């Protein structure tokens, strides 16, 4: 279970060992994998191997090896820092600290030599066969290794930072001691985990603990405090147990044969499954390619549709804005027309009242009108009496109610006579027409090629008649929508929109009828059309002739002759091109 995790750290260690064999292991190599591997194995030991009994001899030997390796590292880092310092700074604190560290390394090495002389492993007299000490000594050695690790780590951090600072300098230049002291303060705070700690004190204190511990161990070894009578029983290493099991498996030939057969069967099955998986993979690739093609085509179609929809949306929005603007302009114009019609209505009502008053006053105070004179004449002829042979002065007759009734009766009789006269004249004209011989109207047969043109012309006549009838109906039944109503403002707006939509539809119909009429004229007139592959268009000469025909007479000029003031008159002359040319030549000469 632990092998996959351990193999990763094993590969990192193998990589560092290979660099060491190739003489490529230097300060530029990343040691983070090594640090991770050490922490991993320490954690693994604390979980799985902490309860097992320790061999004191092996523990002390490992401690000596660890200490000597750390002392070598300290010596190298101290030499690097001395090389980084600028000359002439031997009296400062940092060079003194480096000197003390070098001295401490020498003392600790001497203690290690004394301990190694008393280590078991030889049959010399006075050498113990084994070592044995308690848990307190093991903890003391662990604390010693911890302080040694801190000292080495501080020196490595300071040396690494100093190497970066001295890299851009010249060969004969060095670093100031103050800069290295700042680096030492930062490294001490980082390694020891205490803010504001003094590197000189902590490093000297760690070295003092190391010297005291190693001196105590050397003294105890010389006095034989840790000597044991018999060697401790060593447990069989796991590697040897695994090697023995592997040898037993190798010697079992029959088991190996069965295993080989099983492996061959497994290999055959794996080949078959691999072949099937390969076929499935090829089919999946084909399907994937087809799906990708479909996806590309679908995405292109979707993009095209989106572009078309966006274009239509833009056009619709533009048209909507245009329609809204036209609607607002139409509403403003209609409202102005409504206001103007209201004012005209009020003015017409006032004029009608004034005219009625004037008419009544004229009938009351004016002399006898033509109708009154006729009535007076009739009355004079009917009532001829003694006054007829009297004076010959004019007789004034006033319009009485009785006379007015007689006038109305006479007017009705006149209308009746006129209608009777018209009826008799119509009957007489019908009899005269019936007595005449019938007219022989020759039938003009159109050729088959032009029958479609005749049908199109009749259709245009019919559409024109229907459009005229619609216009007459709208002119006769014109209504003005009152926009000032408060209660039915909603219905007024709806009626106004309906009327506007009806006018717009009528305008569209008129434009379409005009275009169809022009197209039919162009097709029927010889030489008036220009046929193309995608349509028929009117020729420029036909359009010019039509414009001149619609324009009619053109105002060419004005000729003035002197005359008396107030006697001038205006005469308009219609000239032919020949007369116009003669007139121009006359005035030009």
User: 369-396 b/e with 16+ CB inside 10 Å = b?
Assistant: eeebeebbeeeeeeeeeeeeeeeeeeee
The pLDDT of residue 586 is 83
Q: What is the CA radius of gyration of the chain?
A: 65
Residues with Cβ within 8 Å of residue 84, at least 6 apart in sequence: 159, 162, 163, 165, 166, 174, 175, 180
Q: What is the mean pLDDT of each run of 10 residues along the chain (589 residues)?
A: 84 92 86 89 84 81 93 92 83 87 92 88 73 87 93 91 86 84 90 86 92 92 80 69 82 76 92 94 93 92 93 93 92 90 87 78 51 41 39 47 81 89 91 82 49 70 88 76 55 80 90 86 76 76 75 74 83 81 81
Q: Say which residue the tokens 């280590």 belong to.
A: 119
Provide the residue ranges of all domains of the chain, joining segments of one domain with +.
Answer: 1-52, 55-228, 498-530
The distance between the two most distant Cα atoms of the chain, rounded to a whole number of Å, is 204
Residue of 381, 361, 362 lying closest to 373 (CA atoms): 381
What is the value of pTM for the model shown? 0.42
Asked whether 180 and 187 are in contact (CB, 8 A), the reply is: no
**Distance, CA of 9 to CA of 511 (rounded, Å):** 90
Residue 1 confidence (pLDDT): 64
Region for residue 574 given its phi and psi (left: phi exceeds 0; alpha: psi -120 to 50; beta: otherwise): beta
What pLDDT is attached to residue 74? 92
Q: Mapping DSSP to helix (H, G, I), strand (E, B) and coil, where does residue 243 land? A: helix
Q: Determine the pLDDT at residue 366.
A: 43
Residues in Cβ contact with 194 at an 8 Å cutoff, skipping those fewer than 6 apart: 188
CB atoms within 10 A of CB 350: 10
Q: How far apart are CA 380 and CA 397, in angstroms?
A: 10
Between CA 72 and CA 63, with CA 155 as vertex, the angle to 5 degrees is 40
The answer to whether the CB of 221 falls within 8 A of the CB of 115 is yes
Sequence-ordered list of residues with C-beta below 8 angstroms from that of 97, at least 6 positions apart, any chain:
199, 200, 203, 204
Which residues lie closer than 8 Å to 116 by C-beta, 6 or more apart? 64
SS3 447: coil
Q: What is the pLDDT of residue 399?
A: 57
Q: Please give the pLDDT value at position 389.
A: 39
Measure the CA–CA gap between 271 and 281, rounded to whole angstroms: 15
Give percent helix, percent strand, percent coil of the chain, each to the nearest 5.
Answer: 75, 0, 25
pLDDT in tens, 524-559: 777 777 777 777 777 777 777 777 777 667 677 788
Structure-block tokens of residue 64: 């000596």
Q: What is the DSSP string of 159-220?
A: HHHHHHHHTTS-TT--B-HHHHHHHHHHHHHHHH--TT--HHHHHHHHHHHHHHHHHHHHHH
pLDDT at 54: 77
**Is residue 157 within 8 Å of residue 199, measured between CB atoms?**
no
């Amino acid at each position: 279970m632990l092998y996959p995790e351990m193999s990763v750290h094993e590969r990192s260690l193998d990589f560092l060992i290979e660099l060491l064999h190739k003489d490529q292991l230097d300060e530029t190599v990343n040691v983070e994998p090594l640090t991770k591997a050490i922490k991993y194995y320490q954690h693994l030991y604390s979980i799985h191997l902490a309860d097992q009994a320790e061999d004191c001899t092996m523990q002390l030997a490992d401690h000596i090896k660890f200490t000597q390796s750390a002392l070598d590292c300290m010596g190298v880092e101290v030499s690097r820092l001395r090389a980084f310092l600028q000359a002439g700074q031997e009296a400062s604190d940092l060079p003194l600290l480096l000197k003390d560290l070098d001295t401490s390394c020498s003392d600790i090495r001497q203690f290690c030599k004394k301990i190694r002389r008393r280590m078991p492993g030889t049959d010399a007299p006075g050498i113990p066969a084994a070592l044995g000490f308690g848990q307190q000594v093991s903890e003391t050695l662990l604390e010693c290794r911890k302080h040694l690790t801190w000292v080495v780590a501080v020196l490595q951090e300071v040396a690494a930072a100093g190497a970066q600072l001295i890299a851009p300098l010249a060969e004969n230049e060095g670093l100031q001691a103050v800069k290295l002291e700042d680096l030492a303060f930062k490294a001490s705070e980082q390694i020891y985990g205490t803010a504001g700690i003094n590197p000189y004190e902590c490093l000297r204190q760690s070295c003092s603990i190391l010297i005291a511990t190693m001196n105590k161990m050397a003294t105890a070894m010389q006095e034989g405090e840790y000597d044991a009578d018999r060697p401790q029983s060593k447990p069989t290493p796991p590697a040897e147990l695994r090697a023995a099991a592997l040898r037993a498996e190798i010697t079992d030939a029959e088991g190996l044969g069965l295993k080989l057969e099983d492996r061959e069967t497994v290999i055959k099955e794996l080949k078959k499954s691999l072949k099937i998986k390969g076929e499935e993979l090829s089919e999946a690739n084909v399907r994937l390619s087809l799906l990708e093609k479909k996806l590309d085509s679908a995405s292109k179609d979707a993009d095209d549709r989106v572009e078309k929809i966006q274009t239509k949306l833009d056009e619709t929005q533009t048209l909507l804005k245009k329609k809204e603007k036209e609607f607002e302009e139409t509403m403003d114009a209609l409202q102005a027309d409504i206001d103007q019609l209201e004012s005209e209505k009020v003015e017409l009502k006032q004029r009608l009242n004034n005219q009625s008053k004037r008419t009544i006053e004229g009938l009351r105070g004016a002399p006898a009108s033509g109708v009154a004179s006729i009535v007076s004449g009739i009355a004079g002829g009917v009532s001829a009496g003694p006054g007829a042979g009297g004076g010959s002065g004019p007789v004034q007759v006033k319009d009485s109610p009785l006379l007015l009734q007689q006038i109305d009766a006479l007017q009705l009789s006149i209308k009746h006579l006129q209608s009777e006269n018209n009826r008799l004249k119509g009957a007489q004209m019908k009899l005269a027409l019936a007595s005449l011989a019938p007219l022989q109207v020759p039938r003009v047969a159109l050729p088959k090629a032009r029958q479609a043109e005749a049908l199109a012309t009749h259709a245009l006549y019919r559409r024109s008649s229907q459009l005229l009838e619609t216009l007459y109906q709208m002119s006769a039944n014109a209504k003005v929508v009152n926009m000032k109503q408060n209660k039915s403002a909603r219905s007024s707006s709806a009626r106004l929109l309906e009327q506007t939509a009806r006018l717009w539809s009528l305008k569209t119909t008129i434009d379409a009828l005009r275009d169809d009429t022009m197209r039919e004229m162009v097709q029927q007139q010889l030489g008036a059309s220009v046929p193309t592959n995608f349509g028929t268009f009117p020729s420029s000469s036909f359009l010019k002739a039509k414009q001149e025909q619609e324009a009619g007479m053109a105002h060419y000029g004005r000729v003035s002759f002197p005359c008396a003031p107030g006697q001038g008159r205006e005469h308009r002359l219609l000239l032919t091109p020949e007369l116009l040319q003669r007139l121009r030549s006359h005035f030009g000469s």
